[in-house]
A and B are shown apart, each in its own frame.
Chain A
């Protein structure tokens, strides 16, 4: 839409022969850029997220996350003030930057002015004294508004100067800024890791004080990131020249090495970072395991399943009923002895597979969107049955089943999140291996054919019933395994844990990661399960981030973050 406001051609300018409209036209783009950034800032302020971010210190006594956002918006206004067709002369550039920045500052100043209207506070609860303090630098309203406009202008100039830099310098500064912000935001995580070992403690003390980065630390982090960021391509080129064979090997198997690095990181991190991170990663691994299962159904066989949570519930309840040390467990009123976790898991998985196949039977002939709705219903049925009076004598209704024991290895109880994480990691790696082998197999090809064109697949000899039921069964197996771990992790199961949102989360993570991609499942789980946990202090707002991130990813990477090399969009070949 902005192109309507681009700088007019010089010839057009001459024709108009009237300076004021010409200047206005030339400044339309910067003003729009400033206004857009200003509105973004005001939105963040009125939603309340800005104050919240203001509470997170990035650099002690210098900068908070909230201020970071305001600064970056100002810089962005300046950087975006020039159209692609405009001249690159420095003075017009600076003028445009200044205008964009001032408009941005003015927008914030307008926000500040709203504080004068007393009754607004009752409507916009976020117009808090903290927000006022933050926007006004502790000044009176008048001077504060002037300061905002002037500071905005300065930021805009800085932004436009930045946009004049060469590509490498821009990348280096961007890397440095990102590194500082990430280090500051995740300072708790980094500090706990660094404080655990004596040799890293010194680094930690150098970079961080208890509240955030020290300014020296920020400089150091930024500098290191910039240097590494700008040396990386050079180092890669050097390496390619000196070790051509090794370099070729690495770049040919790039995704395999990236995956290996990712796994290595995942397996070492919790041991270093302690129980909290262990718990977060346990959830990531659990969702990865479920994602692997759903990916077989959705990614390979193209069966859009929104009732996936049912299999997870079956695995969890089966484990709980077989192992629990309580009056509702099977051992309490039948002759079945209370089993250990390891004996219960195969039974739980087998039961999940059976439920998966039973689940698939009624929807064999249902396709696409209709399948999604049908499976949604089936998933709800399972939850309602668990809650019902009918099943209450066995499943204990809403009270759930308590005192599910933890697994033992020898005499060691796997009770800590970190040890459960490793158990889950092994399971999800196994699931990933199975999925990987299946992809290249005859069955995998049959699934993909089914996904692309059911009728032709059938005409080529694919047994539709068998292939579909196998997909449901295998997907359910992984979900059941995840459910078993879930039950022992919480040491209890409640019907409320198994709602629709879980199915949707698992589906979202495989879409974000890239449908059909095994690595994508891991990346999606980290992003959708891990990050929200780390951002927990932002409370409900993290779902705002979550939603915004989902939309942004789907716009920028419609095939997912780590998509397979296959195109997944509509192809011209699909003549139907």
Chain B
């Protein structure tokens, strides 16, 4: 069942474990801020995974040095661009979630999600 390359792909394995940690934070924490932190951990895991996918042994970052333009000299530049996109989107999403949390806190004076949902039920929404 287990394939041959688990220990060769240790970077990806660490990324997967980080993803799981973030996901369990998302499921198990009640505090909204901690949920957001969990989502950020998941983001970071995805970046790590992409960066690991783009790496090739013994090659350097894709910046042309000394006019060398062979494919064999540089790592894959595409995942780096994807990571850049991901970081920007993650910043925006985090800001949006935090501002929504601030609004919730101003109205309910708590960050506990259970508390907020019981109060919502009390208000009949």
Partners in one complex: no
Interface residues of A (CB under 8 A from B): none
